[in-house]
A and B are shown apart, each in its own frame.
Chain A
Amino acid sequence: MKNPNMKRLRRTMMFLNAQKPGLIKDPYIYKPDSIMLDLEDAVAENQKDAARFSLYHALKEIDYHGVERVIRINGLDTPYWQEDIRCAVAGGCDAIRIPKTESALDIHLVEEKVLAAEKEFGRPEGSTLLMAAIESARGVMKALDICDASERLFGIALSGGDYTKDLQTHITGTGIELMGARQNLIIAARAAGKQCFDKVYTNLNDTEGFRKDVETIHLMGFDGKSIINPRQIRIVHEIFTPSQKDIAFSEKVVKEIDSKKAQGIGVFTVDGKMIDIAFYDGAKRTIELAKASGVYKGEL
């Protein structure tokens, strides 16, 4: 059975260091769509074990009020990832983020361990979703294979720092260095029917730069963005939530197409714009996004 959370709303996915009790005790108050409890880069090498205990008890005992709990495990080239998976699945996490994914095989290796952990800890099989972080040129080139690798995989995410290093450039703030990867990832994700998420924006003081970055990826078709601070949530949600004007227009389009189809009319106008069946899916998506964002008051 397909996991009902495959397509849930994920506009903001907020990284939190799993080793820091002060950070993980109440992030739900900021209302991100997902939190990503990090066992990887944020946790020092000599604290990997302690972070797992902290993570396990947080998952078991803290009520995150419906915010999705994704766990970023350590890389498959480290000695930590298998125990990370046992801990995360035993704790009942919603999903696992695989770092530095470069092939379908990476997904298969994790999938196998996740299934084993679900059996070991009595979790329903298939209840743990996966997402893959793409952090290298090879990963970008293999994006479609990665997206197609597992039914558990709900999406892929670009990780900018490592990717630009691999490309022998750096984060410029203009987005030029990310154009190819962003385009490739969103196309691969859509081709496979999966979601796609953008990298973090690390300059917390540059609100305008952040806003432009989010507007860009929104226009490109991304589903959301990885974030590192609650201050970034409001801007992302504002940009990713359909406006009332868009919702009203989409509602008219859906209703008109439904009614005109019955009358055998294929092309007509709504608010002075020529509309045909090609507009239907986009308008339906806007309504669904508005519903998921809690701003839809209509009856569709």
Chain B
Amino acid sequence: MIIQKPGIAGTLESSDAQVTVEPGDGKIEFELESAVINQYGLQIRKITYDTLKRLGIDNVKIKIVDKGALDCTLKARIEGAVYRSCNQYNDLPWGGAIQ
């Protein structure tokens, strides 16, 4: 997939995360804000890269503001932002690229 325009998903409520994606400069640029960055920063980074890989994205600026989100929420917000940036809302690949 190709990030076509900025996309944002999620909120700043507790247990959630707000994810913003923008077209990149030829690579993945990852930025993270989290109160638990020391304990979970690496794990959040891994989930982000794994999710982007499944979606076939290697060119994106991605910013995550984490408010204590579970792994499943992080994935949901990353995918939400990506599919919004691509204007795709139907016939999504549940169980394929989304898993």
Q: A: which residues have CB within 8 A of B?
A: 20-22, 25, 49-50, 52-54, 56-58, 60-62, 82-83, 86-87, 90-91, 121-122
Contact = CB atoms under 8 A, between A and B. Distances in A.
A86 B80 contact: no
Interface of B: 9-10, 13-16, 69-73, 75-77, 79-80, 83-84, 89-92, 94-95, 98-99
A22 B99 contact: no
A49 B69 contact: no
Given A22-B14, A58-B76, A86-B92, 17 more contacts: A21-B70, A21-B73, A22-B16, A49-B80, A49-B89, A53-B77, A53-B83, A53-B98, A54-B76, A56-B98, A58-B72, A60-B72, A60-B99, A61-B70, A86-B94, A87-B94, A122-B95
9 contacts: A20-B16, A21-B15, A49-B84, A49-B89, A53-B79, A56-B98, A60-B72, A61-B71, A90-B95
A59 B44 CA distance: 20
A265 B89 CA distance: 68
Give the 9 A-B residue pairs with the shortest CB-CB distance, closest first.
Answer: A90-B94, A57-B72, A53-B76, A22-B15, A61-B72, A21-B73, A50-B80, A54-B76, A21-B15
A52 to B, nearest CB: 8
B69 A21 contact: yes
A20 B13 CA distance: 9
B95 A25 contact: no
Contacts of A50: 9-10, 76-77, 80
Contact of B76 (A56, A83, A90): A56
Contact of A91 (B16, B69, B91, B94): B94
